[in-house]
Chain A
């Protein structure tokens, strides 16, 4: 606010031409939608740790049964009910092969004269829990991934057709979905398992028979939202064919929610598989999934808690990891999406 001017250098008032380039320069580099999503996902520590954790579990589910010297279904009756024993870690006072026998703590490996180490211990039939847990993980993940993939495929096609073509087709298709979603998932799954031979296939079919409706709803909603927007109208005006509009204009926009939804279907499927196995409708012995292992372990919870512990921990870790990855993806891909 001062009016007494200080002395300014001679050339201070030389005019400089306006650099329009400079003025129009956008200071931030432009990033694509996916780059931006990846950036914000990378900032989400929970999601990144989960991604690494899940990667490790996935690798172990294949490598685990191989690095263990025992086959998942090999029974060594003399080595039954051994607690976990792992070199190095045993020095910490855990997983040292010590278990309770008749109320006293003893090293069961010494007592039974077992030379080898069973890292996760053994079950009542002397099977190696380490290879069984990872084999079971493999089976559970396989079921979950296949079920989620089928859900996605049917859901996207059904929801896409319903939303894109609209009108009577949409009406009829939506009435069908409305009735299907009215039937509790639990009831359908149990009934289907009952009439089919128990096994991986039966579980996958049971999980997908109504599982796709969730995906179809989401996809339909998104397609309905985007197809009436100006960029699609513009493409149509320019003579784009239906398939071009679907693949070039709608799909990239709907892809985000498809990915997010799938990330939440997978833990759902893992849960249902374990649930069915737990109530006795899952895989039949000697095949193992995490659910059947938990069921077996639960029966011995009082005496051999380790048989329950390992599959339960792996199952919980997978579930937590997927939920965190799903949350992270949702925040990264669509901060506004809530359902």
Chain B
């Protein structure tokens, strides 16, 4: 498969009054053509910052690339000038944001907001751009698109606005679409519609999607691969099945255990104790060690390297070191692992 984007050893810091916040501390991943990669993690794990740094949307005054590169189309995005980035943003890589209520300009008709990137990046005139915008609105399922072009954002519902934002993002058939929690601010029923729409559109225009979310239910629904982020690092990455049915990192275990499930008889939800690490003074070893009941001495001293679980699956935890003692994952995780061929708890035929 063709790698469309490569993020290598990315390190990024914010300079704040309190000091240097190391928001991303060495992130590596590849994005393949046509796939959907979900990045999951709690608030402050660095998932949004990672994608915003791909788009170079972070404030130039305070955000600084410390190391690493972001390769796209043979170029390192971290080294491009703002002028060069403008040609990529909205054309090759575009983005959908979390809150559709605030991501549209309140005093500009939506038609103009959709034609803006078209006119900017494609060599066509206003009438053609308008036609294209109407087609896009129809594509995202907006009834009577001709009439709605002249309307202002406040005349649309939240779900409709997110459809408009998606139309804007897809206006130039981007190669990569970054969706930063696109359904978090929406009602559950609307969420499903928007997800359905995104899956549909992905097939139509063959784009790769980076999908940021903290909702594992959504991940199971849309993603091909999943990267789990914690404390500014990816701690585990693999295919959706691998992450859901053969997780290796204690943090992933915690995440899965805290996910409400329909068939669980015991209605009590698990919560990961403690708070995320302070990235102003990041911990020396494994950032999750303080909150993990599987912590070992080495976790406090040395950050774990990635251990390969399969060709597609890697996890950064000392538990995978051959000398590490075997531990029992939480009950719920074992239940899941029983269904996964290749996991040590596999009990035969899964569905």
Q: Which residues of A contact B (CB under 8 A)?
A: 1-3, 5, 8, 11-16, 18-20, 22-24, 26-27
Contact = CB atoms under 8 A, between A and B. Distances in A.
B324 A23 contact: no
Contact of B314 (A1, A12, A15, A19): A1
A12 B297 contact: yes
A18 B325 contact: no
Contact of A24 (B274, B305, B307, B318): B274
B305 A2 contact: yes
B278 to A, nearest CB: 5
B291 A15 contact: no
A23 B322 CA distance: 28
B300 interface: yes
Closest 10 A-B residue pairs measured CB to CB? A23-B274, A12-B298, A1-B306, A18-B293, A13-B324, A23-B291, A14-B297, A13-B296, A23-B290, A27-B278
Contacts of B293: 18
A20 B293 CA distance: 9
Interface string B268-312: 000001110010000000000011111111111100011110000
B297 A23 contact: no
Interface centre among A1, A11, A13, A24 (most CB of B within 10 A): A13
Interface in B303-351: 305-308, 314, 318, 321-325
Contacts of B294: 15
Interface size class of B (residues with CB under 8 A): 20 to 34
16 contacts: A1-B306, A3-B307, A5-B321, A8-B321, A8-B323, A12-B298, A13-B323, A14-B296, A15-B296, A16-B297, A18-B291, A18-B292, A22-B290, A23-B275, A24-B273, A24-B275
Interface of B: 28, 273-275, 278, 290-301, 305-308, 314, 318, 321-325
Nearest to A22: B290
Contacts of A27: 278
Given A1-B305, A3-B308, A22-B290, A16 B324 contact: no
Given A13-B297, A14-B296, A18-B290, 6 more contacts: A5-B322, A8-B298, A8-B321, A18-B295, A23-B290, A24-B274
Contacts of B274: 20, 23-24
A113 B307 CA distance: 97
Contacts of A15: 294-296, 325
Contacts of B28: 1
A27 B290 CA distance: 13
Contacts of B273: 18, 20, 23-24
B319 to A, nearest CB: 9
B305 to A, nearest CB: 6
A15 B298 CA distance: 9
Nearest to A24: B274
A8 B304 CA distance: 12
A20 B271 CA distance: 13
A39 B117 CA distance: 45
Nearest to B280: A27
Nearest to B325: A13
Nearest to B322: A5
Contacts of A1: 28, 305-306, 308, 314
A157 B273 CA distance: 47
Contacts of B295: 15-16, 18
Contacts of A24: 273-275
Contacts of B291: 18, 23
Interface centre among A14, A16, A24, A26 (most CB of B within 10 A): A16
A13 B278 CA distance: 25
A16 B296 contact: yes
B206 to A, nearest CB: 30
B315 to A, nearest CB: 11
Contacts of B322: 5
A287 to B, nearest CB: 50
A23 B295 CA distance: 12
Given A1-B305, A5-B321, A18-B291, A26 B296 contact: no
Contacts of B292: 18
A19 B290 contact: yes
